[in-house]
Chain A
Amino acid sequence: MIELAVSVSLLLAGTLVPLLLWTTPVWARRVALICGVSGSLTGLALALRLLAGDEGFVAPLPFTLAFGSASIGIDALSAFFLVPLFVLGALCTVYGYGYLQSHPSGQAVVGGAFFNLLILSMVGVLLARDAVVFLIAWELMTVTSYALMTLDHGEAEVRRAGFVYLIAGHLGVVALLGLFLTLGGPTASFGFAAMAKAAAQGPAPFIVALTLVGFGVKAGLVPLYVWLPEAHAAAPSHISAFMSGVLVKMGVYGILRMLGWLPPLAWLGYLLVGLGILGALLGIALALYQRDMKRSFAYSTVENVGLIVLGLGLAEVGQVHHQPLLSALGLAAALLHVWNHATMKGLLFLGAGSILHSTGSKDLEKLGGLLKRMPWTGAAIMGGAVAVAGLPPLNGFVSEFFLYDALLTGGLSLGRFLGLLAVLVAGGLALVGGLAALTFLRVSGIALLGEPRSEASAKAHESSSWMVAPLVVLMSVCLLISVFPVAVLEMFESVMRGQLGAEALAAFAPLVEAKGAVTMLSRCLGAVWLALLVAGLGTWLWIGRVPTSVITWSCGYLKPTARMQYTASSFAELFTELLLPKRLRPRAQPVLVKWSFPAPTRYSARHEDPLTRGFYEPFFVRWADRFSHLRWLQQGVLNAYLFYILAAVVLAMAWVSLFGGH
């Protein structure tokens, strides 16, 4: 409790004081840094203590808001999401301090201060125990992240991405408003406890639809993810890391909260499994051919959210069919993947930021050879790529292991047809795994290995320690989770008990005992680390000190140049041309070579999102046209908008007093 007060006041101070110290930007930024890091670490201590088994609390706020009293509280589920929030919060604050050093001082101060506000608003989202506090915090989160995302608003691409994000966010809020009104409206009580009761009896399909739209937009569910690639690519990299690692997970938090309120529903379980595997496949297929490194990572976020939702769906299916082991495995996979994705993707985005900072480019075709020029960043990205491709011995593999385990358990214990479906979904998961390896080999291999493809990457240099240190910390966290999964799973116990009950926990217990599968797995991963270490040492002693002496042989090239290297586009071409459905491919202008003396020709490919191109853009353009004669309302004068709000409120009041009332 006291930690919470300290943490919140530190974050608040970190927001306000820097803005007041505007005139001395150096000090303003230092205050933001110190307050952000210390506030996050204090909060982290509280969250970890709660996960270790301490009791949470619910407390009314000392003031009332519209719709009655307001309250905050904390339980295991909130604490579970607070952990990645504070870990990445602290690390991104440090990283941002280094990253914004080269920005104009005003922007840097705003960036530091608003980042603390963003952390604070997310704490609000996780701690809210009634709809009004929740929505205020949720809005604050959307608006602050928008402001941070558009820090480089000089670029048209950034402004466009911000616009899309803002619209998507607000469409989501409309659904959330509808959701809370459906649940709390009839009894006029908007506390979470009362709404949970209402949800248990309410019209389930309607509630689920509003939940999936409202929270799905933030989480990047298919087909609502379209803001995500734009926003993650355009934002400053520590903001991308934070958005992908934590902000997107707020949507997952909402879905989880709602799953706790609703009774187990069979169709909801199947729906989540379907959305999950579809999102994973689509996300990774699109991540595969992006030229922009950060866009590729953003699509991979869609994939990973798909995997998380798949786990949630399996948990739901297990509950409906009374398979406690299945539901425990599914939920454990989802929870572990929430943490894993926060660390791995945080690592990758921060690494990409480091490259962008040093070379001025995130275009894969302009990078290359960076592992030698930026050894720390390069090694971190290599590690992050292995982890996020789900390969052992890093943490991404552990959550993927749980997903397979859950699906196969389902395949064995569910009925005929469902069991068959579970096994086929597991086959789909194997395809996702293979494609993820392809995607991340492409990104890390093209950007880090070989020869530099541009002057700027040839001159690249390692970033400052402010930016490298967070990478090292995140890499170590990935390593620790992979070697001690049992300890991590123990922290999830209270969350799993809260969501699924004691039965599921009991079914899960044998897995983490001395001879259980998870224990054996963690030992094997430890053995893999050891073997790799020994082999690495042996190789180094054997051939490690042989100097590099020649140019690449490659069957006798005399003068290889960087332009002769395989490019990122050609690396993905085999897949996009042979296997990807036509609609999902990038739109390319093919190279036309006519007759024997060909003229100069050019190749170009556009990588817009197929869903935006095929559906959202035409849809919104059509409706914008239809409403074009209402443009005169748009005066661009602040007073006019204030007047609209006043008029709307008066009208609403009139409506209530005329037709409402009991």
Chain B
Amino acid sequence: MSFDLLIHLVLLLLLPPFLLGVVNKTKALFAGRKGPPWLQVYYDLAKLVRKGSVFSRTTSWVFRAGPAVGLVTVILAGLMIPQGGHLAPVNFEGDLILVAYLLGLGRFFTVAAALDTGSAFEGMGSAREVTFSALTEPALFLGLFVLVRSSHSLSLSRMFGDSLPQSLGVSGASLVLVLVSLFIVMLAENSRIPVDDPETHLELTMIHEVMVLDHSGPAFGMILYSAAVKFFVLGALVARLAVPFDVGLWAWPVFMLATLGVAVLVGVVESVMARLRMVHVPSLLIAACLLSAFGVVLLVR
């Protein structure tokens, strides 16, 4: 147990930036480039932490609190999200609701911090972020509800734990739908293509990056790091769903490989797809909601 706990914490805190490196390498491979080093995101973080900060005269305490709240919420959520088939350090009946709403709290303050700059650009990004996340929320919830019904539990650790291999025969079809839906949710929540483009800073169609234009130094480092952690925790759910088997002693290595696989997949999606037009993003998210809802329907028998 304590061994699992240790690995959970180490992975949660140290692995995420590497995953972003994997995504970038994958994209570089597709583009025929050499790409940044695998550990580039760690270098970036180290550089940002040592830098000074600049704050606009328009901003208030909300602007400085935003990155901190974002970081705290995503790490606390990470403590409740299981990795592989293992129990998460914190688990209780109903933790899935707390996890989803903690991510919501982080978003609330990130968006509020963006509005605090008083810039049209950042306001635009915040409006898009919250509007689209209002649609990803039902998709995420309905997807998780499928697992609630197949595992008869309201705890993420049980839903993604032992019960998953057992319910495979009964609810396999639903789980495939949920896998797709959660993958879309993950792409949207982490502002990846086809919803958002993490590469550009000045395109008008972007969401996440435009909100954090005015953050600098350690605050921006916190934002970058929490984005990576969020990528990891949502990716962990997708990875477990993709490999829902009981592999005994190999659980940790298999989980890590699966998570890297998810990162590679995100890189592939980003390389072969273009970003959707802004007006078409809701269709994609509604499709995710409907897929999850179908998953629920398939479980009725």
CB within 8 Å of B: which residues of A?
368-369, 371-372, 378, 382, 386, 389-393, 397, 400-401, 404-405, 408, 411-412, 416-417, 419-420, 423-424, 426-431, 433-435, 437-438, 441-442, 444-446, 448-451, 515, 517, 520-521, 524, 527-528, 531-532, 535-536, 538-540, 542-544, 546-555, 557, 560, 562, 564-566, 570-575, 578-579
Chain B, 111-133, contact with A by CB distance < 8 Å: what is the 0/1 string?
Answer: 11001111111111011101101
- Pick 11 A–B contacts, CB within 8 A, sort by A: A391-B108, A420-B297, A430-B140, A441-B108, A446-B115, A521-B92, A538-B68, A550-B54, A557-B119, A566-B124, A579-B135
Chain B contact-residue range equals 35 or more
In the complex, residue of chain B having the shortest beta-carbon distance to the beta carbon of A403: B97
Query: Given A404-B94, A426-B145, A449-B62, list of 18 further CB < 8 A pairs?
Result: A369-B58, A382-B112, A420-B297, A420-B300, A424-B293, A426-B141, A449-B115, A451-B118, A517-B92, A524-B92, A528-B73, A543-B217, A553-B56, A554-B117, A555-B213, A571-B127, A574-B128, A579-B131
B149 touches A391 (CB 8 A): no
B133 touches A434 (CB 8 A): yes
Q: CB-CB < 8 A to B140: which residues of A?
A: 430
Known A405-B97, A430-B137, A517-B94; judge A543-B64 contact (CB<8 A).
yes
* Pairs A-B, 3 closest by C-beta atoms: A566-B123, A434-B134, A450-B118
Chain B, 268-301, contact with A by CB distance < 8 Å: what is the 0/1 string?
Answer: 0000000000010010000001001100110011
Q: CB-CB < 8 A to A427: which residues of B?
A: 138, 141-142, 145, 289, 292-293
Q: CB-CB < 8 A to B76: which residues of A?
A: 527-528, 531
B105 at the interface (CB under 8 A from A): yes
Q: CB-CB < 8 A to B68: which residues of A?
A: 532, 535-536, 538-539
Tell me the complex Cα distance, A531–B75, Å.
10
B127 touches A553 (CB 8 A): no
Question: Which of B133, B134, B137 has the most chain A CB atoms inside 10 A of its CB?
Answer: B134
Known A411-B145, A446-B115, A560-B119; judge A390-B101 contact (CB<8 A).
yes
Q: CB-CB < 8 A to B90: which residues of A?
A: 524
B118 touches A552 (CB 8 A): yes
B119 touches A554 (CB 8 A): yes
Tell me the complex Cα distance, A420–B115, Å.
39
B33 at the interface (CB under 8 A from A): no
In the complex, residue of chain B having the shortest beta-carbon distance to the beta carbon of A564: B120
Tell me the complex Cα distance, A446–B75, Å.
29
B98 touches A449 (CB 8 A): no
In the complex, residue of chain A having the shortest beta-carbon distance to the beta carbon of B125: A566
Residue among B111, B123, B149 making CB contact with A565, cutoff 8 Å: B123
Q: CB-CB < 8 A to A390: which residues of B?
A: 101
In the complex, residue of chain B having the shortest beta-carbon distance to the beta carbon of A417: B300
B58 touches A551 (CB 8 A): yes
Q: Chain A nearest CB: distance from B109 CB in Å?
A: 9
Known A372-B60, A441-B108, A535-B72; judge A554-B300 contact (CB<8 A).
no
Q: CB-CB < 8 A to B201: which residues of A?
A: 555
A450 touches B296 (CB 8 A): no
A554 touches B145 (CB 8 A): no
Q: Chain B nearest CB: distance from A367 CB in Å?
A: 12
Tell me the complex Cα distance, A566–B296, Å.
39
In the complex, residue of chain A having the shortest beta-carbon distance to the beta carbon of B54: A550
Q: Chain A nearest CB: distance from B221 CB in Å?
A: 10
A433 touches B300 (CB 8 A): no
Tell me the complex Cα distance, A426–B292, Å.
13
B234 at the interface (CB under 8 A from A): no
Question: Which of B55, B72, B279 has the most chain A CB atoms inside 10 A of its CB?
Answer: B72
Q: CB-CB < 8 A to B137: which residues of A?
A: 430-431, 433-434
B59 touches A548 (CB 8 A): yes
Known A426-B145, A574-B131; judge A449-B56 contact (CB<8 A).
no
Tell me the complex Cα distance, A621–B249, Å.
76
Q: CB-CB < 8 A to B100: which residues of A?
A: 430
Known A391-B108, A553-B214; judge A371-B60 contact (CB<8 A).
yes
A554 touches B65 (CB 8 A): no
Residue among B52, B60, B127, B136 making CB contact with A574, cutoff 8 Å: B127
Tell me the complex Cα distance, A136–B62, Å.
49
In the complex, residue of chain B having the shortest beta-carbon distance to the beta carbon of A393: B105
Known A408-B145, A438-B134, A555-B202; judge A449-B118 contact (CB<8 A).
yes
Residue among B55, B141, B282 making CB contact with A430, cutoff 8 Å: B141
Q: CB-CB < 8 A to B128: which residues of A?
A: 574
Q: CB-CB < 8 A to A400: which residues of B?
A: 97, 101
Q: CB-CB < 8 A to A579: which residues of B?
A: 131, 135, 282
B92 touches A560 (CB 8 A): no
Q: CB-CB < 8 A to A565: which residues of B?
A: 118-120, 123
Tell me the complex Cα distance, A419–B300, Å.
8
Tell me the complex Cα distance, A118–B36, Å.
69
In the complex, residue of chain B having the shortest beta-carbon distance to the beta carbon of A562: B118
B261 at the interface (CB under 8 A from A): no
Residue among B94, B104, B300 making CB contact with A401, cutoff 8 Å: B94
B152 at the interface (CB under 8 A from A): yes
A550 touches B56 (CB 8 A): yes
Tell me the complex Cα distance, A573–B58, Å.
24
A423 touches B118 (CB 8 A): no
Q: CB-CB < 8 A to B158: which residues of A?
A: none
Q: Chain A nearest CB: distance from B76 CB in Å?
A: 6
A433 touches B101 (CB 8 A): yes
B123 touches A546 (CB 8 A): no
Chain B, 67-105, contact with A by CB distance < 8 Å: what is the 0/1 string?
Answer: 111011101100000000000001011110110111011
B56 touches A438 (CB 8 A): no
Q: Chain B nearest CB: distance from A518 CB in Å?
A: 8
A382 touches B62 (CB 8 A): yes
B198 at the interface (CB under 8 A from A): no
Known A405-B97, A543-B217, A553-B56; judge A535-B149 contact (CB<8 A).
no
Q: CB-CB < 8 A to A570: which residues of B?
A: 123-124, 127
B116 touches A450 (CB 8 A): yes
A412 touches B152 (CB 8 A): yes
Known A517-B92, A527-B76, A539-B65; judge A392-B119 contact (CB<8 A).
no
Q: CB-CB < 8 A to A389: which residues of B?
A: 104, 108
A441 touches B52 (CB 8 A): no
